[in-house]
A and B are shown apart, each in its own frame.
Chain A
Amino acid sequence: MNSITRIDDVWSIVGVEPARIADDVCAFLDVSTTSFGRATHYNSRDKQLQAEAAVHGRLFDISRDLYQILLSLPGTTDRARQIGMSALLGSKQNGKECLLTGTMERRVLESFVKSLPSQRMLKLFDAFRGFGNEFGAKKSNNARTRKLILRTILNSPRLELWTIKYRSKLQRILSHAWGRSLGSAIGAVAAKKRRNDKEKSMLRKHVFSYLGSNGGKVEVVNLNHVLQCIAFLYGERDRISDDMKLLQSFINAKTNISDGLKLPAEIIEGIRSTYHKNVSASELLKMRADVGGIRTRYEKRVVQKRVKEAGGKVEMNPLDYDAVELYIYAFEVGADSEILKALDKKAKDAANLLPVSYDKLAIIVDASKSMEGSKEQPMRPLATTLSIRDMLQKSAIETRTLYCGGLIKDTCPSDMDMRSGFDAEMRIVKPAYETELAQLLLDALVYEPDAVYVISDGYENSPAGRFGDVLRKAREIGIDVPVIHCNPVFASETGSVRALCEGIEKVTTLPVRSPMAMGSGIIRGLIESDPRRGLNSILRIALTGDSPLAGLLTEGGVS
């Protein structure tokens, strides 16, 4: 293991030559920003998982610090963090050699847990039981793992919701943390109204000590809340008090569906299809919309169209969604000025995270037909493309945006306050026509920008290879403007993303999933071309300024 140090303003990894680890770092950035651990056209799921584990393992062996730092970068997938947490919890930390001490690492882990959606967090905890090979997790029940699980679950303000939504999984996880027989005993004791000293001691040791910050004083109401949830999970459901509204709704909805309208969609739908077969799914959807029962971000977005058709309405706050989701929503339902304003804000926020800025930038947007994506993820490639376009437009003083194909979508309100040079009419485009990028590249080069960004799936067909031909000729006549190809589509045949051209200097192809992940992609390009500078940049960004890790370092007394 190698630690990270800083001398003056230069961050480095002790005893490691940057050029030697550049490939491993780049491979890790590719995996940590694009891999979802699924089968592809190219590889089976098992092969994907093996390759993914090997990439994680290599970086972990180089430096535990660097591993955590890269995992903390914006745009890292939840899956990468899940694997990372498994690796970190499954091995001992030697604080003497590391920049991040044991306490800091615990807080890094806690921040990773907080960044995961509930179901992914619980899936990870469930994987610690050691069944299957999810996230490369081996059976793990050491003190660190146990504390992380119990503190996260028992302290959560969403415990009651999780209790009904993830009943079996949560019970399994708690039983793993406590042990099966102790878990059952705690469940039975939690349900009691009167407890003897031994039982009180049991709860103090195994439940209350994990509540509140540092096991401090806990309010009685929370304590009762937690105990009732535990009792419910272990099947003791007769003495649930009225203030446990969700637990009560869950129990009552089986006899009266109206009592369960504010329950999560899948729960009430399950109850409907089992106990209330006379009520249709669309009737239930409307009933839930009418009482404000559609509450999650995801559901609000995806059911808009169906609720509208059923005559209902769902209020949603565009700022709760990321830019890619908002564009997908805009394609499905249309965009009002609120959504466009939210997109504008998201673009500014993402541009602030970019490690580079430009005076003059040319952006080529591929809006050809193939950018509409697959049946499984319709419009996602173009939605990603447009959100990256927005961010790039905010990252330079002057930009020129060129479109390949595409039709203007007539959803753009005329009252939008667009910044100068922002092409409002082309804000939302529909995918159409063939991919002909070469002519646009020429237009971009004539503009004399600092860099040309091409956001495309890499499938050029009018004709294939012409982009590379033009760029090669441009290089021959002395034009060396960097060209960065951002590709939002994983291409099975390459096992990564498809490049528009190869073997030409100053051309980088970056896999991009969202604007927030662009920073990692750009740094990846930098590491590839100049490992020392690239690594220094990545460490500086992660460990200084407003980053969460910088806060931990300051608290931990490291300078």
Chain B
Amino acid sequence: MSRNISMEDILFGIGAGRAQSVGNMEVIPLISEDRDEIIDESMYGTPADVEIGTRNYGEVDMRNVSDRVNFVPPGAGWVVKEAAQDHAIGSGEILGPKASNLVKTARCIQSNQGGTISKAAHEMLVLPVELRGIALAKRNMCGYSDMWDDLSNFNSQHGIQGFKELAIFLKEFKRQMDQFVAEFELVPNQIGAVIIINGKVIGIEIAPTRDYWQYVWTPLIRVCYGSLASECYKRSSVDHRNIPISNRNPLELVENTLSGLRDAVLKTDQDRIDAVNVFVSSLKKKKFLVGNVEQNRSNHYLLSGLIRPDRENGQIEGQIVVTEKTIPFFSACGI
């Protein structure tokens, strides 16, 4: 049975910040405005409080060490330094205070390495957007090795042949990904972002708290979206006129003076702000079509769903966490 959740509800209490744009990638920060009134941030921990380890191949054992409810985002992965097979999960996970959970549908993302990951608070990443969708689609199936071909294809697309592992990609593209993290900046009260590449929405992320967002910002922007952005950048020359949020409109001076230049800058800035507002308004009209509840823990419900494609954007798939009254978590992406 499916039903719709309006994006207006998902974005309730959330406003848009100033768009940040570099090259073909834009990020519209989502800012908590009135959201504090409905969501108590002290209820939620961050992924930093989650210890993970692997018992067997394809099984990730998680433990929330905080006394707050916690979410592990869909597509979370752990590439570790120790001699152990790197793993990732398809579905997000709700973890109650001090709760543990064994995910038996995890995927190995490193074919040429044996060994299990010792349980600790390992640094989390989020799979590149192409792989994240695949992992999400396979979230209910067991099979630790059935993303190896996908990894191999993914690496091939990025010019790395013959490797069924994510670690090689992270190593090869470290420089570009580090740069992307540096290019975009967190703003105060930020709890999410809309990510746009070549004028097309490829991700909408909303965290339960500011701290949570601060934690997932780097994994998201660096690996999940940054990798795709750098790849697109190489493939296509960007025509800024095709980008709806007006990445960088040309300055048109009415008067050839400093004050004329100031007017031109103010106008393009206002155009950008207006464009963002129009964009967010149109986003709020969209619906997130969800299926059945997949997890019900600590009075939080996890559901998977999608936003249907339209003229400008492709299909966006992801997951949402709801309570009786609030929507603390949303994460969806698509190419």
Contacts and interface: CB of A to CB of B under 8 A. Distances in A.
Interface of A: 41-42, 368-370, 405, 407, 432-436, 438-439, 442, 445-446, 457, 459, 461-466, 469-470, 473-474, 476-477, 479, 491-493
Interface of B: 17-23, 29, 174-176, 178-179, 182-188, 247-248, 250-251, 253, 256-258, 260-262, 264-265, 269, 272
Contacts of B174: 41
14 contacts: A41-B175, A41-B179, A370-B182, A433-B188, A434-B17, A434-B185, A442-B258, A442-B262, A461-B21, A463-B272, A464-B21, A470-B265, A474-B261, A491-B179
Contacts of B22: 459, 461, 463-464
Contacts of A457: 182
State the main secondary structure of chain B at its contact with A.
mixed
B258 A479 contact: yes
Contacts of B265: 438-439, 442, 466, 470
Given A369-B187, A370-B185, A473 B21 contact: no
Contacts, number: 93
Contact of A493 (B179, B186, B188, B272): B179
B20 A463 contact: yes
Contacts of B258: 442, 445-446, 474, 477, 479
The 3 closest A-B CB pairs, nearest first, are A369-B185, A461-B20, A464-B22
B248 A464 contact: yes
A436 B247 CA distance: 13
A445 B265 CA distance: 14
A463 B251 contact: no
Given A41-B174, A473-B261, A473-B264, A465 B185 contact: no
Contacts of A493: 175-176, 179
B191 to A, nearest CB: 15
B176 to A, nearest CB: 8
Contacts of A42: 175
B251 A436 contact: no
Contacts of B269: 439
A432 B185 CA distance: 8
Max chain B C-beta neighbours (<10 A), residue from A407, A438, A462:
A462
Given A470-B261, A492-B175, A463 B188 contact: no
Contacts of B175: 41-42, 492-493
Contacts of B17: 434
Nearest to B186: A369
A434 B182 CA distance: 11
B187 A464 contact: no
Contacts of A369: 185-187
A376 to B, nearest CB: 12
A118 B175 CA distance: 34
Given A446-B258, A492-B178, A493-B175, A432 B20 contact: no
A477 B257 contact: yes
Given A474-B261, A477-B261, A461 B184 contact: yes
